[in-house]
Each structure stands twice: as structure tokens, then as C-alpha cells.
Amino acid sequence: MDLLLLFCGRRRVMQVEGYSMWPTLKPKDRVIVRPLNQHSELPAIGSIIVCIHPQQPSRRVIKRLSCVTDNQLTILGDCPDASTDSRQWGRIPKGCLIGEVVALASTPLEQVS
């Protein structure tokens, strides 16, 4: 189903850079992302999500959703030693959320770290 939605433009393929989500995801893994908007229901706590980097808006980051408080997200990498995340930035606005990772893929289109 996600493959069909990918071809219809309702899913995105992104490639992982770096080790912040190790061992769950490793560099060059490709993931299928279900885009979300301001009106979408938030993914469950523990889901892997893609967000706009809070300090570098041209970058995308892939992290695990740890907590939601007052429309702000706490996001953490699975590998603390290799991750820059809410431990350094604090909570990020819900508006930075791009989408939820729903599967591994096989075709890279956009890089995330």
C-alpha cells in the first residue's frame, strides 16, 4: 500500500545520513515517509519521524518522537553519543514535523540526518 501511495505522491523517500538512529537505522538506509500537516494526528510516542532542523531550516532530521507537550515535540536519536536532538535544542515546535517513517525503501530521493 505504501508503495502505491509513493507512486501517487502521498509518500516520500528519504535517505539517512549519520549514526543518530543507530542501530535502528544506519547511514544510507532509505525510508518511506508519510507526510503530515498541522491538522494531522500526531504519530504515537516512540514513532520515528522526520522534522525540519530547528536551527538550520534547510536541513531535515530523523529522530524518535519522545514526548509531546503544548504543541511542542521532544525528539531523540536512538544513539545519544552520535545524535544532536532535543537534549541540545530543547523541544521543537509541532510545525517542524514533516512526517512519520512508515517503512524502509529502496530508492533515495532526499537526505536526512
Contact predicate 85/20, CB 8 Å: yes
Is pLDDT at 1 greater than 60 in this prediction?
Answer: no
3-state helix, strand and coil shares in percent for the chain, rounded to the nearest 5: 15, 40, 45
6-18, pLDDT tens digit by residue?
A: 444 578 899 999 9
Task: Sketch out the chain's domains with CATH numbers.
Answer: 2-112 (2.10.109.10)
pLDDT band, very low/low/confident/very high, at 110 (cuts 50, 70, 90): low
Cα–Cα distance for residue pair 110/87, rounded to 1 Å = 25
Average pLDDT of span 24-47:
93
Cα–Cα distance for residue pair 49/65, rounded to 1 Å = 7
pLDDT band, very low/low/confident/very high, at 3 (cuts 50, 70, 90): very low
Contact predicate 6/32, CB 8 Å: yes
Query: Which pTM was predicted?
Result: 0.84
Which contiguous run of DSSP H or E holds residue 27? none
